[in-house]
A and B are shown apart, each in its own frame.
Chain A
Amino acid sequence: MAPVLKIIAMFIGVMLAQLYLAQLLSLGAVRPDFILVFLIFASARYGRINGILLGFSAGLLQDLTGSLSVLGANALAKSVVGYTVGTLNGTMTVWTPRIVNLYIYGSLLGHAIIYQTIMVQGLQASPGILTSHILLEALMSSAIVTGMRYLIPIMPSRA
């Protein structure tokens, strides 16, 4: 199957999981973002350009299922993640696993900061609430990515 068709087929599956299953794994007001996890793997494998395009379109679709007052929030955060994680495509054989891990978790934290900061705009939420939301989302995404990496390796093994 061509890479584009493969990505689209996998994305539809992930989108369905996000629509119907994410609520079951929610913690407080924050739910896991399977689309972000998929974006991490897809960008690392297919590079920056595909990462940006996938991040923007997947984020936009995600935004369309929610309130239109924040249309573009996911698209913005995920475009940036697609770009940053897409860098891994050419550097994985050069960087050590520790740096790759830091890079991925840093991108997840970056996504949480951008998205949650936009989401609390206009609310009378204290900095404590914003910080807790950011940490909760970043930790949740990191946990899923870590778990998935046992099933789908991002880095080629160094024999």
Chain B
Amino acid sequence: MRNLFELLYYFRELLLVLLAVLVSLMLLLTGESRQSFALQDLFTGMIGMMPRTNLGFADIISYKEENQVLRHRLMQYALLNAELVDAARENERLRDMLQFTEESPYELQVAEVISRGASSILSTITLNVGTRHGVEPNFPVLALNGLLGKTISVAPNASIVQLITDRNFRLSVKVGSEGIRGILVPLYGPFAEVTGIPLNSDVRPGDQVLTSGFSDIYPKNLPVALVDEVEVTPGENFSRVTVRIQAEPSEAEHVFIMIDHGPGT
């Protein structure tokens, strides 16, 4: 018995690293368990309580650039708005004619990005709003350019967002003028692939990719990506459609959470 203890003590470092590897592998296999989410919620709360960093000069430069982009965008939206007001009046008139009830508009909560996680690959961001602001898990999160992800862990004053570029993110989308349905699967960086697009579909580079609405989380017609490349391989049943995700997770400073997003279609 004593020899066994001596042997264990002699190999203690090796045994410890094997134990650490074993526990890590178990966590990898059972990562999305209820206990893991509870632990992440706790950690999210701690990040939310941490003091914000003031990066000073670098921030001022980036805010100036962002401000210019926003002004430019505001002007574009102002011009677009004039057209939309006219279209809305016509829509209202037609709805009245068809006796449609008015759909409730989306309720958005503005949030600031306070952290981009500690991993060397960006897969989540932390926002400064949580349950106290009406946020719950599985709420869609939007950047100015399009869908950014969904909330996965929510603490009273902070929430973690799983980004659209995360390896486990999947989204039902529609592509092109015909609205062909497919599943968006992230590839690498800003690129993703839309699977399940039949060969004879009219999908071209530059076509818009929107949420299909076949989801309890995302309402339909949220902008997601633009088609980058369509590849047709002889003998395959589906086209390989590569898209470029419009939202830029690494640059977003402020985002919008859809508090009241209604059911999918």
Chain B 108-151, CB within 8 Å of chain A: the 1/0 string? 00000001111111111010000000000000000000000000
Q: Which residue of B lies closest to A121 (CB)?
A: B167
CB contacts (< 8 Å) of B115 on chain A: these are 19-20, 65
B92 to chain A, nearest CB (A): 43
Given A67-B162, A69-B31, A124-B187, A76 contacting B25 (CB threshold 8 A): yes
A14 and chain B: residue at smallest CB distance: B118
Distance from B27 Cβ to chain A, minimum over Cβ atoms (Å): 3
Q: How far is the CA of A6 from the CA of B11 in the complex (A)?
A: 27
Query: Interface size (B, Cβ < 8 Å)?
Result: 49
Residues of chain A at interface, number, CB under 8 A = 59
Determine the distance from Cα of A53 to Cα of B17 in the docked complex, in whole angstroms: 9
Contact partners of B122 in chain A: CB under 8 A: 23, 26, 29, 31
Does A67 contact B187, Cβ atoms closer than 8 Å? no
Residue of B53, B165, B193 with most chain A CB atoms under a 10 A cut-off: B53
Cα separation A138 to B117 with both chains bound (whole Å): 19
Instruction: Given A24-B58, A33-B120, A65-B126, check contact A56 B23 (CB 8 Å).
Output: yes
Residue in B118, B160, B185, B187 whose CB lies within 8 Å of A62: B118
Given contacts A63-B119, A65-B117, contact A19 B47 (CB under 8 A): yes
Q: In the bound complex, how far is the Cα of B36 from the Cα of A70, in angstroms?
A: 11
The interface of chain A, by Cβ under 8 A from chain B, is 15-16, 18-24, 26, 28-33, 35-36, 48-49, 52-53, 55-56, 59-76, 79-80, 82-83, 86, 115, 118-125, 129, 133, 137
